[in-house]
Amino acid sequence: MGLIVTVGGSFVTLAMDVLEYSHRWRQLWGSAKIESDRKRKKSCSISTADRKDKNKKKNKMSSSSSSSDKVRASHILIKHQGSRRKASWKDPEGRIITNTTREAAVSQLKSLRDDIVSGKSKFDDVASRFSDCSSAKRGGDLGQFGKGQMQKPFEEATYALKVGEISDIVDTDSGTHIIMRTG
């Protein structure tokens, strides 16, 4: 610790004391930080394990009680001037949508529905070609959902259907739909 050599005696002693204090402080702080890191890692691993247990219990409870509350559906959405968002994956700038009236959307969906019901077309093929929803990439499949996850008119129409049935026209803030319950 001989960094200061040619300064008065008392100053050298003070400098030595400061250096020793600084060195000791780093040692203490370093060990305190290591201990803190160990405690944090231990508490993190405990809380992660606790979370996993809670999630397992939660999933067991929800899968046993609410699996019957869930439905699965596919849909075809035609957006129009009154839709909440006037853009879609097919029409990102909304040029077609802003020029489509609700009546035109309803007319198109009725025609598509007639083709599906008569057997001329398959629901998933029609959804892939005509739906403004990104689910079109999956043939209109929305997957499974429970109550409170969809807009109210959509949810009510879906839950009212039997598996394999196709709804009449359903209006939501997103646009105009036909829905097929698939599960």
Q: Active-site residue 108, yes or no? A: no
Quick check: is 133 catalytic? Answer: yes
Q: State how far the Cα of 117 lies from the Cα of 33, in Å rounded to an integer.
A: 70
Per-residue exposure over 65-74, b if at least 16 CB sit within 10 Å of its own CB, e if not: eeeeeebebb
Cα–Cα dist 169/156, whole Å: 13
Active site residue 177: yes
Active-site annotation holds for 75: yes
Cβ proximity of 138 and 155 under 8 Å: no
Name the catalytic one among 75, 80, 83, 135.
75
Q: Which of 74, 83, 133, 135 is catalytic?
A: 133
Catalytic residue among 80, 88, 131, 177, which?
A: 177
Show Cβ contacts of residue 110 under 8 Å, excluding neighbours closer than 6 positions: 169
The single residue of 81, 107, 121, 151 carrying the catalytic annotation is: 151
Does 144 participate in catalysis according to the annotation?
no
Helix axes 102-118, 123-130, angle to 10 degrees: 150
Instruction: Please identify every residue annotated as catalytic.
Output: 75, 133, 151, 174, 177
